[in-house]
Chain A
């Protein structure tokens, strides 16, 4: 009996030891299981940043779009989420690469990409930036591979097509804006045909230059243009100098003539007045006045001349000329005459 009791007692002790142990491990296991379940369910919480949009897939199939903020999707493998940055504007560069941006931006030209044929079989070097962003995140994610590559390939093709439709002079000068717009529109249409969900924000032509090899010739054209206007300006300058001078000279001629006219008239009037006055006096005593005037005149003019007096009746020959002036008889003679 005692042996049995002993056995019994041992069994009971063993049992009592085992029972709480088992319940404890069960409890821990249960808590763990619940924790794992909670963690599993919590794994579906996700944050969409302001510049992003959430795209939730259920078993790989597009299910819904979510807006920025705290969101939830059923945990993996039921649902998964992608968060493309839809407001971010991305860019691709054609014909050059930005090596380092920031305060001292450095670029590297890529001639093979930049050089393109124009419609008149010339070559230009064109560099452009294409800016794009996601228009439709569903298409962007699910309809196209390597979106950036697609934009770049398409942009290169379209830009070349557009420049190929133009002559070099147009491409280099006035056509720039048109090229940008046309490239943008064609590129958008092309990317839409790829169902890419990409929106072209802008196509900006950076530099459109003649290739390095012919730049001097192009520069010379520019300086020839300058020369042209220089020549014209010089001629205009000459004209601006000559014409006013000529006008001045013309005015001078006319004014002088006007002066002459008035001078002539006034002189005539004066002389006539003088003559009239004399004439009216003359009428009063014609003979004596005439004689007086004659003699006064002689008086005035003869003193200053060399004079020879010739008696033609006696000799009639010039040999008998007497140089009276030497004898200084003139004054006496006139004085005698006066008497």
Chain B
């Protein structure tokens, strides 16, 4: 009975000693072994590790990529415009010993990151105009701020992997101005479209009129040519025929004309000795 109790007690004691002398470092963490509060070694490799029980203890640090998310801040651009910049950063602890000695923990680190990133961002954004920050210089600025912040943060055992501008917004009062400008711009574009439509329309109508005039003029020309041809041909035919005996033609045609022109309304005064009435007076 006593043996068994002893055995169990022994096992418990061994377990306790094992528990105090071995520790597990997870893949997501790194550790520092302290001896009476003094850092002895840093452990960045995950797995089972040994320490002297009761004399040494272990503090753990995050080994994953960490988030730093600052509140949006107002910055002034080179062209004296105010922008509200919301940025974030991703960072990790690369030197836990240095980290422990300088900033102690993640909260301490956040304060330092605030100082570093905010000042770098402010300096760099102040070098550019607003539209550069919004568009073409954006990634270059972020790269530079990342690089410079990283250089500074290395002294705290921190690597800043990325400083990124999440949002660039305008202050509310400027937004109103932008909306007004957008409206004006759209109105201009709308006007332009309508004017272009009218221009096109007028062009088409004018072109139509032009074509119409030309078509009719061409037709008139051709018609006149045809009529002329007809007249010429007729004249030729008449002349050829009538030239056989112009005198007879004159006589014949004149009489024809009398038939066609003299009618009920015509009053004729005939001389008694005219050719026609010559037998009336002198039979």
Which residues of A approach B to under 8 Å, CB–CB? 57-62, 77, 115-123, 138, 141-146, 149-150, 153-154, 156-157, 160-161, 164-166, 168, 190, 193-196, 210-211, 213-214, 217-218, 220-221, 223-225, 227-232, 234-236, 238-239, 242-243, 246-247, 249-251, 253-254, 256-258, 260-265, 267-269, 271-272, 275-276, 278-279, 282, 286, 290, 293-295, 297-298, 300-302, 304-313, 321, 333, 336-337
Contacts of A57 in B (CB 8 A): 26-27, 46
Q: Report which of B67, B192, B216 forms a contact with A146, defined as CB distance below 8 A.
A: B67
Residues of B contacting A213 with CB < 8 Å?
A: 179
Q: Which of B94-102, B108-116, B120-128, B221-229 contacts A (4 or more CB under 8 A)?
A: B221-229
For A213, give the chain B residue with the smallest CB separation. Answer: B179
Listed by A's residue number, 18 A-B pairs whose Cβ atoms lie within 8 Å are A61-B45, A115-B169, A123-B175, A150-B65, A161-B138, A217-B183, A224-B191, A235-B203, A238-B208, A239-B207, A254-B219, A257-B225, A279-B244, A295-B276, A301-B259, A306-B266, A308-B269, A311-B272
Q: 0/1 per residue, B158-182, Cβ < 8 Å to A?
A: 0001101111111000010011001
Question: How far, in Å, is A232 (CB) from chain B's closest CB?
Answer: 5
Partner of B223 from the list A243, A256, A294, A313 (CB cut-off 8 Å) is: A256
Contact A302 B90 (CB under 8 A): no
Interface string of B128-142 (1 = CB under 8 A from A): 001100111011000
Residues of A contacting B244 in the complex (Cβ-Cβ under 8 angstroms): 276, 279
Q: Which of A60, A230, A257 is within 8 Å of B227, CB to CB?
A: A257
Residues from chain A with a CB closer than 8 A to the CB of B189 are: 221, 224
Q: How far is the CA of A279 from the CA of B250 in the complex (A)?
A: 12
Q: Is the CB of B134 within 8 A of A260?
A: no
Q: When the two chains form their complex, are residues A228 and B262 in contact, meaning their CB atoms are under 8 A apart? A: no
Q: Which chain B residues numbered 194 to 253 have a C-beta less than 8 Å away from chain A? A: 194, 196-198, 200-205, 207-209, 211-212, 215-216, 218-220, 222-227, 229-231, 233-235, 237-238, 240-242, 244-245, 248-249, 251-252
Collect the chain A residues with CB atoms within 8 Å of residue B151's CB.
none
| Chain B residues within 8 Å of A239, by CB | 204-205, 207-208
Interface size for B (C-beta < 8 A) is: 111
Contact B186 A165 (CB under 8 A): no
Shortest Cβ distance from B192 into A: residue:
A224
Q: In the bound complex, how far is the Cα of B258 from the Cα of A294, in angstroms?
A: 11
Q: Does B17 contact A (CB under 8 A)?
A: no
Question: Would you call B233 and A261 a contact (CB within 8 A)?
Answer: yes
B268 within 8 A of A: yes
A298 proximity list for chain B (CB < 8 A): 276
Question: Is the beta-carbon distance between B162 and A190 smaller than 8 angstroms?
Answer: yes
CB distance from B180 to the nearest CB of A (A): 9
B216 touches A246 (CB 8 A): yes
Does residue B144 face the partner (Cβ distance < 8 Å to A)? Answer: no
Closest to B69 in A: A153
Q: A142 to chain B: which residues have CB within 8 Å?
A: 27-28, 63-64
Cβ 8 A contact of A264, one of B62, B88, B219, B230: B230
Beyond A61-B48, A217-B190, A246-B216, list 5 extra A-B contacts (CB 8 Å): A150-B67, A247-B215, A250-B216, A257-B225, A261-B230
The verdict on B279 contacting chain A, using a C-beta distance below 8 Å, is: yes
- B273 lies within 8 A of chain A by Cβ: yes
Chain A nearest Cβ from B75, distance in angstroms: 14
Given contacts A142-B28, A153-B164, A278-B252, contact A257 B134 (CB under 8 A): no
